Amino acid sequence: MSICEIVAVAFALAMDAFAVSIASGVVVKEQKVRHALRIALFFGGFQAVMPVVGWLAGNRFRHVIGGVDQWVAFGLLSLIGCKMIYEAVKLEPGERKWDIRSLRVLLVLAVATSIDALAVGVTLSLLHVSIITPIIVIGVVTFVVSLLGVLIGERFGHLFESKVEVAGGLVLIAIGVRILVWHSL
């Protein structure tokens, strides 16, 4: 997997966190910088840890899926991408309400927005990709994107929240298709 693909995956994975960060920026008006840093640390940290968990699990069970690994990678990335698109299109803005200042809510959102990264970690193990570079890139990209999301949310609100999630889903599907085509040649 090239560095460009890793960066593309990182940005695609960060779209959920970005959307939540934008919504958070709309809701929280006080201590904006402190709040933005806290969200960025949680989201970036969880996005960096979850692929490691997935990668370790994928390595453990690689022998079981060995002959169909490109199909599994394609399926996981496509499923994640479709899920992101579905949620962006089907969920009403009212269904996404929470008090992001609560530590408990922040933890739940950090885990929820990084579940996709767990599946990507499994995919990376099936592709025999070292996990070090992807977790650094995924963590840093999510940190920066989340930080910016809170600040953008303060200024522009929910103007383009769902469009960002759709774009992230399409990127993941495209990468899954590319993996499938590449291994089928």
Residue 64 confidence class, pLDDT cut points 50, 70, 90: confident
Average pLDDT over residues 139-161: 83
The pLDDT of 68-77, averaged and rounded, is: 73
* Rounded Cα distance, 45 and 124, in Å: 18
pLDDT class of 2 with cuts at 50, 70, 90 = confident
What range does the domain containing 169 cover?
3-184
Helix pair angle (3-27, 69-90), 10° resolution = 20
**Do 17 and 82 touch, CB atoms closer than 8 A?**
no
How many alpha carbons lie under 13 Å from residue 75 in its C-beta half-sphere?
Answer: 8
Dihedral (CA of 15, 53, 181, 138) sign: positive
Q: Which of 52-61, 88-97, 108-117, 160-169 has the lowest mean pLDDT?
A: 88-97
pLDDT at residue 51 in the model: 95
pLDDT tier at 43, thresholds 50, 70, 90: very high
Instruction: State the pTM of this model.
Output: 0.72
Q: How far is CA 111 from CA 107, 129, 178, in A?
A: 6, 23, 28
How many domains, the chain? 1
DSSP 92: -
pLDDT computed for residue 152 by the predictor: 85
pLDDT at 164 over 70: no
- Please report, for residues 73, 132, 157, the alpha-carbon distance to residue 118 in angstroms, rounded to integers and kept in the order given: 12, 14, 29
Q: What is the DSSP letter of 99?
A: -
Q: Over range 18-30, report the average pLDDT.
A: 74
